[in-house]
């Protein structure tokens, strides 16, 4: 699934995956940056708490965004595929200057939102210039191919990752979150080894990748962004691997980036701040 097409030169909105655990009270640099680009005090933030089964998740984020000065922040309690067809919820989305997808279980997101009018609206609105941020599970679902699961560990293996369809807001990355905290390098390497078309992006907690319409990622936050760049990959043994086999990957590049550093998805060039 490719990102929705822009219309007549319209600039696409930012796609902002957050690694989870973002600071919300003391110097919430990630959420503040999201608010600023979404219009500041005049922003209209629509929150999608579907991944969480906690009823307070949506209202909590409403309060967080209002504490950051946003006049209009509303949570849409979408808990079923029927909810994801609500004309009232679609009308709220059409007012959005920023959409925020909370954490929880990414398979709740994909099974409830996948293919629904709400999912289609999020894709269309992003193509129309609306910024879409998501934390943890809300970040995981953003790419075309969503990492749905896989074991922890530093090394790739033949059963190292499980995929499910994502929202398709971007198709140039494979993405994992809570990255260093949950030791997920191995499953990101496994994901990249299947098809080196996409760059692998691992995002630590309290860290975000602000992906602009020009394909440039800017790192924002207090952790690291790990980039697995397969542009010079010479060989992967994944196609011939049997259960339990170690995986050979020759020619990968690995970048570790921090606040202010950038990586261009089009040129695959990393730059310090």
Q: Could you read off the pLDDT of 38-57 as tens digits, one per residue?
A: 999 999 999 999 999 999 99
The answer to whether residue 1 is domain-embedded is no
Domain assignment present for 112? yes
Candidates 136, 190, 193, 199; catalytic one = 136
Query: How many independent structural domains does the chain possess?
Result: 1
Does a structural domain hold residue 2?
no
Examine the residue annotation and report whether 271 is marked as an active-site residue of this protein: no
The model's pLDDT over 53-84, given as tens digits with 9 standing for 90+, comes to 999 999 999 999 999 999 999 999 999 999 99
Catalytic residue among 52, 178, 218, 224: 178
Kindly report whether the global pTM for this prediction surpasses the value 0.85. yes
| pLDDT tens per residue, range 129-167 | 999 999 999 999 999 999 999 989 999 988 889 999 999
Is 178 noted as a catalytic residue in this protein? yes
In a domain, 4, yes or no: no
Instruction: Choose the weakest-confidence range: 67-71, 183-187, 244-248, 268-272.
Output: 244-248
Type and span of the H or E element at 188: helix 185-194
Please give the average per-residue pLDDT across 171-191, as a whole number. Answer: 96
Q: Which of 244 and 202 is assigned the larger pLDDT? A: 202
Domain of residue 27, residue span: 15-271
Residue of 148, 157, 202, 213 lying closest to 176 (CA atoms): 202
Are residues 248 and 212 in contact, defined by beta-carbon separation less than 8 angstroms?
no
What's the pLDDT score for residue 2? 65
The answer as to whether 249 is a domain residue is yes
Which residues, other chains included, contact 33 with Cβ-Cβ below 8 Å and sequence gap of 6+? 208, 210, 220
User: Is residue 234, in this structure, part of any structural domain at all?
Assistant: yes
Q: Mean pLDDT throughout 191-219?
A: 95
End-to-end CA distance of the chain: 32
Catalytic residue among 22, 158, 205, 218: 205
Average pLDDT value over all residues in the chain: 95
DSSP-derived 3-state class of residue 191: helix
136 catalytic residue (yes or no) = yes
Indicate whether 102 belongs to any domain: yes
Strand-strand pairing, 207-211 and 15-18:
antiparallel
CATH number, position 194: 3.40.50.880
Residue 63: inside a domain, yes or no?
yes
């Amino acid at each position: 699934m490719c990102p929705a097409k822009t219309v007549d030169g319209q600039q696409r909105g930012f796609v902002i995956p957050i690694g989870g655990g973002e600071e919300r009270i003391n110097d919430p640099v990630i959420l503040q940056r999201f608010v600023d680009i979404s219009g500041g005090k005049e922003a209209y933030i629509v929150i999608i708490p579907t991944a969480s089964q906690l009823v307070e998740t949506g209202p909590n984020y409403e309060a967080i965004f209002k504490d950051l000065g946003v006049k209009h922040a509303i949570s849409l309690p979408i808990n079923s595929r029927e909810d994801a067809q609500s004309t009232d919820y679609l009308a709220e989305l059409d007012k959005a200057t920023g959409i925020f997808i909370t954490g929880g279980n990414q398979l709740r997101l994909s099974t409830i939102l996948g293919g629904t009018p709400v999912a289609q609206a999020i894709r269309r609105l992003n193509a129309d210039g609306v910024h879409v941020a998501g934390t943890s599970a809300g970040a995981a679902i953003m790419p075309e191919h969503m990492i749905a699961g896989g074991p922890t560990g530093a090394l790739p293996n033949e059963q190292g990752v499980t995929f499910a369809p994502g929202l398709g807001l971007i198709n140039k990355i494979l993405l994992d979150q809570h990255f260093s905290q949950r030791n997920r390098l191995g499953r990101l390497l496994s994901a990249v080894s299947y098809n080196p078309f996409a760059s692998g992006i691992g995002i630590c907690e309290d860290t975000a990748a602000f992906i602009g319409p020009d394909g440039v990622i800017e790192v924002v936050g207090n952790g690291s962004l790990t980039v697995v760049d397969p542009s010079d990959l010479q060989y992967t043994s994944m196609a011939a691997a049997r259960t339990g086999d170690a995986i050979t990957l020759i020619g990968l590049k690995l970048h570790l980036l921090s606040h202010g550093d950038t990586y261009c998805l089009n040129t695959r060039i990393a730059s310090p701040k």
